[in-house]
Amino acid sequence: LAKTTQPISMDSYEGQEVNITCSHNNIATNDYITWYQQFPSQGPRFIIQGYKTKVTNEVASLFIPADRKSSTLSLPRVSLSDTAVYYCLVGDYGGATNKLIFGTGTLLAVQP
Amino acid sequence: GAVVSQHPSWVICKSGTSVKIECRSLDFQATTMFWYRQFPKQSLMLMATSNEGSKATYEQGVEKDKFLINHASLTLSTLTVTSAHPEDSSFYICSAITRLGFAPYNEQFFGPGTRLTVL
């Protein structure tokens, strides 16, 4: 299972764009990259998933370079409610195990 | 999207008693469910993989006789913490995987978690 490395914490202000980068140097061919958001005392919530290039949905964008050894979650115009821990995970979602190993995550603190 | 529920959302018990936590996939069938444990200010730690109709696969260091997992149906998995002690106090989260529509991959959906406090 590919290990991920991301910053422990980040600070931002309301209205700014936030980019959180995750390193996954030993990502496998069949692995997808998924980002989750977790608020205190809640289960993780799916944000976005991708395999390569760029993926965009209504809440975020995910940028994945050609070598797929890293990925960047982009949150446009964050608000106070985006203060949470963000986890980057890689896994073979079509494979036999499907299990996800969580890394440390990034605590994003948004200030007014 | 798919919904996973957990019951109870919180539980307080005395040391030495057993506690059962249920994890249900409400609108889909999940062949595989996972159980995680999370201590304060720490990341989620995978405890075990639960497959319907078969024995659970436990991660290294997790006592299978203490954390009993039963996946009796495609929509229900239970985690029983036997002879609970204060050090078992934690936030327990389950997840379930499914493949939606024509997606080429499985998606994993998490439950809201269960806060266990052992006195």
Q: What is the pLDDT of residues A57-83, one digit of tens each?
A: 999 999 999 999 999 999 999 999 999
Span B67-81, mean pLDDT? 92
Span B46-64, mean pLDDT? 90
Q: Which among A41, A101, A106 is the top mutation candidate for probing chain B, defined by the most B β-carbons within 10 Å of its own β-carbon?
A: A41
Q: pLDDT above 90 covers what percent of chain B?
A: 72
Q: Which residues of A touch B95 (CB under 8 A)?
A: 43, 100
Q: What is the DSSP string of B12-59?
A: EE-TT--EEEEEEESSS--SEEEEEEE-TTS--EEEEEEETTS--EEP
Residue B45 at interface with chain A, using a CB cutoff of 8 Å: yes
Per-residue pLDDT, B53:
80
Work out the pLDDT band at A1, boundaries 50, 70, 90. low
| Residue B9 CB-half CA count within 13 A | 6
How many A×B Cβ pairs under 8 Å?
57
Of B35, B36, B21, B9, nearest in space to B115 by CA: B9
A40 versus B30: the higher-pLDDT residue is: A40
Minimum-distance CB partner of A32 among B6, B46, B105: B105
Residue B58 at interface with chain A, using a CB cutoff of 8 Å: no
pLDDT at B110 over 90: yes
Minimum-distance CB partner of B110 among A43, A49, A93: A43
> SS in 3 state form for chain A?
CCCCECCCEEEEECCCCEEEEEECCCCCCCCEEEEEEECCCCCCEEEEEECCEEEECCCCEEEECCCCCEEEEEECCCCHHHCEEEEEEEECCCCCCCCCCCCCCEEEEEEC
Per-residue pLDDT, B48:
94
Of B45, B61, B54, B60, nearest in space to B95 by CA: B45
Q: How far is B17 from chain A (nearest CA, A)?
A: 23
Mean pLDDT is lowest, of A31-45, A79-93, A97-111, B24-38, for A97-111
Closest residue in B to A43 (Cα) is B112
Q: How far is A104 from chain B (nearest CA, A)?
A: 6
Per-residue pLDDT, B22:
97
Minimum-distance CB partner of B32 among A36, A44, A98: A98
pLDDT at A94 over 60: no
Q: Are B23 and B113 spatial neighbours (Cβ–Cβ below 8 Å)?
A: no
Q: Which among B46, B54, B105 is the top mutation candidate for probing chain A, defined by the most A β-carbons within 10 Å of its own β-carbon?
A: B105
pLDDT at A97 over 70: no
Summarize pLDDT for B21-49 with one digit per residue, the tens: 999 999 888 878 999 999 999 999 999 99
